[in-house]
Amino acid sequence: MSKALARVAVERVENAILLIRGEKVILDTNLAALYDVETRALLQAVKRNSERFPSDFMFQLTRKEFDSLRSQSVISKGRGGRRYLPYAFTEHGALMAANVLNSKMAVQASVQVVRAFIRLRQMLVSNEELASKLGDLEHKYDAQFPVVFDAIRQLMTPPEPQRKQIGFAKTTKSLLK
């Protein structure tokens, strides 16, 4: 696989990784798509090998978690819908799923899954290192540059996503007509 294609594949996996219950996970539908199998086939293989999937490898979402994901547009509310709550696979669960599927595509895709989790972990570590170095500099030069450190801290904090207002907005112009 070329480096460019591998990078696209890793980015695709990274986009499928969610943070649920403090764990980085991939939902069953996304994992099945990455492994090029039907969700039903993935879950059947998992259930046949349930002893390989302890709760730290895989868990089922609660109704509240599922509704929250749906409201964030991660899961569409398509026709027919799901008859069960989705399962979330941690990094180890995703790899174990590739093993129980035992297909060539699942093995190849599992490499991309591992790379995506590693890349996320490296980004987290580098951000922690940067915060630590900033803290050290702040203690050393705080009195001289407090404004600079405040600005850097604000840049390191990710902005909260802005939500668009849904519905019609009443304006005084439209009421006067």
Alpha helix stretches (DSSP H) within the chain: 3-16, 28-34, 39-48, 63-71, 91-101, 104-141, 146-156, 172-176
Does 172 fall in a domain? Answer: no
- CATH code for position 72: 3.10.260
Between 77 and 15, where is the model more confident? 15
Query: What is the span of the domain harbouring residue 81?
Result: 3-124
Instruction: Select from 122, 113, 82 the least CA-distant residue to 15.
Output: 113
- Compute how many other C-beta atoms are within 10 angstroms of the C-beta atom of residue 112: 21
pLDDT tens digits for range 13-23: 777 888 889 88
Residues 89, 30 contacting (CB under 8 angstroms): no
- The CA distance from 127 to 133, in Å, is 10
Does 168 fall in a domain? Answer: no
- The CA distance from 89 to 17, in Å, is 10
Q: Provide CB contacts within 8 A for 100, sequence distance 6+.
A: 45, 46, 48, 49, 52
Stretch 62-88: mean pLDDT, rounded? 76
Q: How many domains does the chain have?
A: 1
| pLDDT attached to residue 45 | 92
- The single-letter code of the amino acid at 73 is S
